[in-house]
Structure 1
Amino acid sequence: MVPVQKHGIVEAARLSVAPMMDWTDSLCRRVHRLLSRRALLYTEMVTAPALVFGDRAKLLDFDAVEHPLALQLGGSDPGQLAEAARIGADWGYDEINLNVGCPSDRVQSGCFGAVLMTRPELVAECVAAMIAASPVEVTVKCRIGVDDQIPEEVLPAFIARMREAGVRRLAIHARKAWLQGLSPRENREIPPLDYALVQRMKQAFPGLHLSINGGIASLDTVREQLRVMDGVMVGRAAYHQPWDMLGQADLLWDETPPFADPLDAAAALRELVEAHLAAGGRLHQVTRHMLGLFHGRPGARGWRRQLSEGASRARTPAEALAVYDAALAEVAAPAA
């Protein structure tokens, strides 16, 4: 049985925000961390060769406030992945995750991501090497299968092989990936979700910590899934509707959320905006992660418009802060 520490990484995995390319950068994670003190956050995927041979600081640097934080790696060479895992652990990440779920063409050509669902023995070799090299936990994010595989056969065999290799925690995207015929975006939407299969995996592997991922778009659905699963990983909904998914998420740990409403959160986020501008950053680099903060609420359209249009016009930090304040005024104004 996996030990659960009240304030440890395993407990944080009760709710996590999925690694999402071009989205979950450090600024995004700082926005999400302000909304939830407890949720586990993930980096964008970093390939093992890029980390071993490239600019590590550029790829790995993060702010201490982002903890608990996991680094997701992509690759299929056990030696490179072991070295990358060691580097990530030394850099201060709380978890190292192997991507066995991304269906993009670039990932397939590099023999990593979802295509590795067809090579469980290689994945097992990779994670065993990573576990041997890393002082922090190594986990796996996978699909239920790819292409013509039969998920009911492939998924339990894959999980069993990961368990034999030493993995104790997995996040399972409850869709197949069609590597031939569907784009990465279509692979996030078209293959049907099979929550029941993933839930059966929890029954079949009670000693593993299993999180379910895919299409989960409300905190109520998170609670429903947690009746069966150990954890829930949310993706696009957390990005496009950050308040709805994360603003009250700390209640899952019986803790008081940081803010009572999104307006309070937006006022607090102004400090992040100001600090980013003072460091030479551009307004849109941080506010693009906040556009959905007021999703479905009065003033949401004005908030998005001010930040989207104003960010391109702002030339100085003062002008940029004025844009942010104008956006705040849109949602602070009483309803007509």
Structure 2
Amino acid sequence: MPANHIQDRAAGALMGAFIGDALGLGPHWYYQLDALHQDYGDWIDGYTDPKPGRYHPGCKAGQLSQAGFILALTVRSLVECGAYDRNDFCRRMDEELFPLLDGTPVCGPGGYTSQSIREVWRRRVQQKLPWGQTGSHADTTEAIERTLAIAIRYAFQPAELAANITDNTLLTQSDDIVVSMTVAYGAVLALLVQGHMLDTELSEKLMALVKNGTLPFHAVTQDDLQPPRPGDPDPPRAGRFASPDALLTPSYMAAAVADPDIRIEPAWKVSLVYGMPCAIYHQLPAAYYLAARFRDDFESAVLHAINGGGQNQARAILTGTLVGAQVGMSSIPQRFLDGLDQVDTLRNLAMALAAKVGDS
């Protein structure tokens, strides 16, 4: 597979995340769709300013939220170190982010700090706890929104991908289910960067990595989820995660897209089907559905993610990453790049990270 195609997909995945983040800045966290439509019209088709009294005060259309800030910080660490370096990442958080926070929600880069980052700030800055004792039970996609960069970097090294994403996630989120779903998203993204599609066969490819011990999930079934035979021993655990179910979700979502008897129209109503809140178990099915349905249409994917309301910023980050990986940076509509603040810096980061994909 030509390296330039791999790098195009890798850069597309990262730019898709930055674009999704910026698209969500204005219309973030509207849980009443009537209010969303009153403020932004029936269809949001680009970057928007936050409205007075809403989230991200003082920010302007096309800018990144704090999720984008932390993602960029993570990418710089990966690029400058050449690999995932926990100590370097933690130093950057200590020196570049935490001095800008005060432990309250409405503060810091992007004008808002998430629950898990606020908790890390309290444990690290106020309580002086060491890294490793900083994770909380927040059930959001916050870790995915930065570790997606690790998944891109280690797209051809699934064992290292899983170990590094696990390590980084535990710095801010300690719930095993959240960690397993975060690692699963990274494994999905890696296959898309390699050139696979988010389709009904993707989960089978992920399960093959479980069966050979590469991905750290436990499974007792045979191929195609057939039951174990009498006398089959309990397989040794490949790792810390009790179940591979998080790896099965993407292909179930792709099957829903392919089934003519299942229609979500318009597609933004996927947020009503799987839920508008922040929790990871609402966000991932919606992102996988949109990324399977619009796998060759970046614009439709991210705009339907945004127009679904609720935690649409995370939905757009996750969806933009998955579709960006499938279409490549070369197929992202230019208007999304033109309106993105500091686009040259972000594009250079994307290309620098893409150049590291596959490095041992």
TM-score class normalised by the smaller sequence = 0.3 to 0.5
Question: Please, what TM-score do these two structures have when normalized by structure 2?
Answer: 0.32
The answer to which structure, 1 or 2, has the higher relative contact order (CA under 8 A, 6+ apart) is 2
- Structure holding more strand per residue: 1
- Structure holding more helix per residue: 2
Question: Please, what TM-score do these two structures have when normalized by structure 1?
Answer: 0.34
